[in-house]
Amino acid sequence: MNTSTQGKNLIKQAEGCRLTAYKCAAGVWTIGYGHTQGVRAGQSITQQQAEEMLAADLAAYERAVGKVSQKLTQEQFDACVSLCYNIGTGAFVSSTAAALIAADPTPRPELERAWKSWNKAGGKTLDGLVKRRAKEWQLYSKASSTLSATIFGIAAAAVAVAGSLILIS
């Protein structure tokens, strides 16, 4: 599975794009859309290079998410890639969130807690990470919410039809 446009846009929005190297909140040299590998002080890139770095970086994160679970919806996959992109493949695959997803990818409170616990950089809770985790979780649980609403709607229609049949009898 590959990250959808919606997933890429989530990452781009959360990461922002900086064409000159900077140190992120964790003190790591970063450039483009959160690219860290081989970045050095004073480095500059073009927008096109930032897009190419993002595309290349996504492949590693997509593989890591794929190793955790093959049973994800597109929304769940995109949200997982965003989380993995932010915390790194090692942290993602060894996380409680990944273990819970591997066991059962259904959105549930314990998975949400594990997911949203990744809100710190340098030991400090960051508002930007709290917001990012909330957006990722909203996307992750989107398919489940839609499915629940559909099932509820079908059940309500069946009850209405059954009630009509009783009234007709």
Q: How far apart are CA 62 and CA 54, in angstroms?
A: 12
Per annotation, catalytic residue among 17, 24, 52, 112: 24
pLDDT for 97-106, tens place per residue? 999 999 999 9
pTM score, whole prediction? 0.82
Tokens describing residue 110: 């314990």
Q: Is 17 considered catalytic here?
A: no
Higher model confidence: residue 156 or residue 35?
Answer: 35
3-state secondary structure of 32: strand
pLDDT of residue 163: 52
Q: What is the mean pLDDT of the chain?
A: 88
3-state secondary structure of 70: coil
Q: Is 15 considered catalytic here?
A: yes
* C-alpha distance across the termini of the chain, in Å: 52
When pLDDT is averaged across residues 115-126 and rounded to a whole number, the result is: 92
